[in-house]
Amino acid sequence: MTARKKRIRKAVLPVAGLGTRFLPATKAMPKEMLTVVDRPVIQHVVDEARAAGIEHFIFITGRNKGVIEDHFDSQFELERTLAERGKKSELELLSRDLPDAGQTSFTRQQAPLGLGHAVWCARDIVGEEPFALLLPDMLHHADTPCMADMIRAYDKHGGNLVAVSPVPKDQTHLYGIVGVENAKDKVSPITKMVEKPPRGTAPSNLHITGRYILQPEIFDLLSQQERGTGGEIQLTDSMIRLMDEARQPFHAVRFDGDIYDCGSKIGFLLANVAYALARDDLGPSLKAELRKMV
């Protein structure tokens, strides 16, 4: 059993998905660059990882995703123009968000073979250390960022961790679902995991929300992983083998904030409303306008 406690320095962000649910908006623009208020979805997720102390961001990209790389680079002409015009606060905003040189890596998935395959593409960049994984579609909105909570739990328990939250019973077939020792505990050992269980067979209503801390042994398992649900190489299937066969510990960390699935139109719209309402500069006037509207 491995419960190594190496520090979590790197985060993997799979951003290769086509975004077909948002056509035509995503015809030429990656879905991860759609804005929630005034920040791209992917920036919100990087913000969450940075708030948890992550130092290196590994993007698993695909064709037509080049603009994500540009977004996390400096923009010389823009910065010079802002400086010439004395736009100090805008300049500060840009420099605050910019990762240091060498803190980002980009690699292409090449073929849409599933989440497990996307994560496996990061193996050489991650190397032999545990890492964070954040699925960018799922925005986790809370006072304490979800990944910060998970790193705290990792510091205590080590091993592998998965963020979970309850979903209505009629939605369990849409997600990875875990069974835990004690569903009331904030952090509880996982006893069972299954990817998208057929209706009526889920071990609980706790779904995997898209935030993980994984040990590097997952990569060997992913390299041999056969296709699972939906004909795709499923990350959950390799996690099950890491837990059941390699006997590594897995804990569920309950996330108590709000989750917005920005891969769906309604989730994306709600995220915009929620993030704007939470801001001092926009919240009060938006609330007043919404009251008039509905």
d(CA 261, CA 119): 20
Residues contacting 239, CB < 8 A, separation 6+ = 160, 162, 193, 214, 218, 250
Q: 196-213: string of b/e by CB count within 10 Å (b at 16+)?
A: bbeeeebbbbbbbbbbbb
CB 266, min distance to ligand G1P, A: 15
If residue 119 lies in a helix (H) or strand (E), which one and from where to where? helix 115-120
* Out of 26, 61, 188, 236, the residue judged to bind ligand G1P by CB under 6 A: 236
Residue with smaller CB distance to ligand G1P, 22 or 175: 175
Stretch that binds ligand G1P, among 29-37, 49-57, 230-238, 264-272 (CB under 6 A): 230-238
Over the window 91 to 130, marking each residue x when it contacts ligand G1P by CB under 6 A and - when it does not, the resulting string is ------------------------x---------------
245 to 274: interface string for ligand G1P, x by CB under 6 A: ------------------------------
Based on CB atoms, which residue is closest to ligand G1P, 21 or 123? 21
Burial of 151 (0-12, 13-18, 19+ CB in 10 A): buried
Give the nearer residue to ligand G1P in terms of CB position, either 115 or 126. 115
Q: Considering the complex, what minimum distance in angstroms separates the CB of residue 46 from ligand G1P? A: 18
Cβ proximity of 28 and 64 under 8 Å: yes
Q: Could you say which residues in the range 207-226 bind ligand G1P, by CB under 6 A?
A: 207-208, 210
Determine the straight-line distance between the first and last CA of the chain, rounded to whole angstroms.
56
- Encoded amino acid at 223, one letter: S
Q: Residue 108 pairs with which residues in a beta bridge?
A: 61
Given 145, 159, 176, 197, the residue binding ligand G1P (CB under 6 A): 176
Residue 39 belongs to what H/E stretch? strand 39-40
- Indicate the burial class of 249 (C-beta count within 10 angstroms; 0-12, 13-18, 19 or more): middle
Side-chain half-sphere exposure of 153, counting CA atoms within 13 A: 28
Tell me: does residue 30 bind ligand G1P (CB under 6 A).
no
**Which region, judged by CB under 6 A, interacts with ligand G1P, from 50-58, 59-67, 123-131, 205-213?**
205-213
Report the interface residues with ligand G1P, using CB under 6 A: 115, 135, 138, 175-176, 195, 207-208, 210, 234-236
